[in-house]
Amino acid sequence: MKKLKLYLCLLGCLLLMSDTIVAQKAKFKSKRVTVQKTRLPLNYIEPEDRTYAFYKKGAYSTNVDVQQNRIFGWKRDASNPNLKGVVSIYGFSYGSPQRDSQKKTKKNKEGKVTESWTEYTYSATATGKGTLYIYGISNPFVYENKKKKKSKSEQKREESAKAKKKDLEDNPFLSSEDITEAEESDIGEDAGLDGEELSLVETVSVDVSKSVKTGKHRSASAALKEYRDKQLPKLQSFRDAYPNRAYRNAVSVLNKKYGYSPVNSRIWMKTMKSSKHDQYKKWNDACQATETLFKAFKYNKSIDDNQAKFDAIIKYFSGIVDDIPDNDRKQKKMKRAAFQNLTNILFYLDRHDAVITLCEKNLSSKILDKTAKNMVDKSARQKSLLMFHKMETCHTDSNVEIKADEIDVEEVADDYSEENK
């Protein structure tokens, strides 16, 4: 009996210790939080010189209304603008439909092939041609830094396009003329303004493309029929829709280069999902408060009065980062999550000196080094960009009313998740 009581006592102690250990290991999930701000353009032009006009040219520009959009922070002046945006919407082409086939088999339990067939699909791409001509003044921001690497998706798209082109070029039954003639196209003249006195700053492609693909068919003729009956009409409808899309692309380019446009930045906060952890409620309260306070931010309203509201949240996450030793393997995820939340909050409050100081302090940390390196570079560039535009924060003061469809969306990568894959 005594042995049984001793055994039960030891078992209880072990379970209690186990619960304590589990509670100490926090788990997290990513939550998207939106912060509205002003996107700072590539060029800085003195406020008194910010006058612009839009123009259109090209065979497909007839139904485009160049008065429907604007460059934020600039005044429209058709009589004597310092900046002219000319969108040439001049041509449309259908790529020839491409057939793809895949052999399929069905096996029984013994692994013997009981059925075999071929599946066929057809795909095609149509392209609407457009070019933006920018005339006037320029004063681009120059920041010396390492060239940004292309994303994996960008690399895959480029490699896929090169492979398709090479397949056509290597086909002994096709000449270069055959490949060109396989596309039905209506390409007119691509030109800017004739006799323009303002200097041509640059030209930017604003082409728009649409791709279609049939379902899988066991008959090539059935796949081709679906393409002609259902998919080709989509491309034909796109022909009418593309000019306005190309024009909107042109306006977006001009705003990124010159305008102070509204943008909703979607950043990631790390919320805790370990409900038994002693910091669970306080941590998630801090995240909820951050999300709520950021919701009040507007691109054209000062954030000075909101700065102090974040001080307690910043102090909380700073304390966690400082209190967890760099060699504490059990709490390294908590330290990293707190650090990401902290640096994101400081960054979107435009406290870039604080971000740089914090990150430089943690560059030698084995847990925080990657995030620290990324954020110190990001904040240093943003600080320099703000100085270039003679601004202290990414928020302007104006009474300009905006529509929901005028607000761009900016997705920010979840560096923490990338590190923990």
What tens digit of pLDDT does each residue of 98-153 get?
A: 999 999 999 988 889 899 999 999 999 999 999 999 999 999 999 876 545 555 66
- What percentage of residues in the chain have a pLDDT greater than 90? 70
- In this structure, of 139-148, 151-160, 313-322, the range with the lowest mean pLDDT score is 151-160
- 276: CB partners within 8 A, 6+ apart: 19, 22, 23
- Is 284 a residue whose pLDDT tops 70? yes
Calculate mean pLDDT across residues 392-417.
82
Burial of 238 (0-12, 13-18, 19+ CB in 10 A): buried
Identify the CA nearest to 183 among candidates 249, 91, 88: 91
Calculate mean pLDDT across residues 373-378.
95
pLDDT, tens digit, for every residue of 195-206? 889 999 999 999
* Structure confidence at residue 192 (pLDDT): 87
Give the integer Cα–Cα distance in Å for 144 and 165: 35
- 162: CB partners within 8 A, 6+ apart: none
* Structure confidence at residue 403 (pLDDT): 85
* Structure confidence at residue 353 (pLDDT): 97
Identify the CA nearest to 86 among candidates 62, 59, 56: 56
DSSP 82: S
How crowded is the C-beta side of 136, counted as CA atoms within 13 Å?
25
- In this structure, of 146-160, 243-257, 300-314, 404-418, the range with the lowest mean pLDDT score is 146-160
Give the integer Cα–Cα distance in Å for 78 and 51: 9
- Is 176 a residue whose pLDDT tops 80? no
* Structure confidence at residue 401 (pLDDT): 83
- Is 379 a residue whose pLDDT tops 90? yes
- Is 227 a residue whose pLDDT tops 60? yes
Tokens of 163: 């492979």
* Structure confidence at residue 18 (pLDDT): 41
How crowded is the C-beta side of 132, counted as CA atoms within 13 Å?
25
SS3 state at 217:
strand
- Is 50 a residue whose pLDDT tops 60? yes
* Structure confidence at residue 165 (pLDDT): 60
* Structure confidence at residue 216 (pLDDT): 95
- Is 5 a residue whose pLDDT tops 60? no
How crowded is the C-beta side of 256, counted as CA atoms within 13 Å?
10
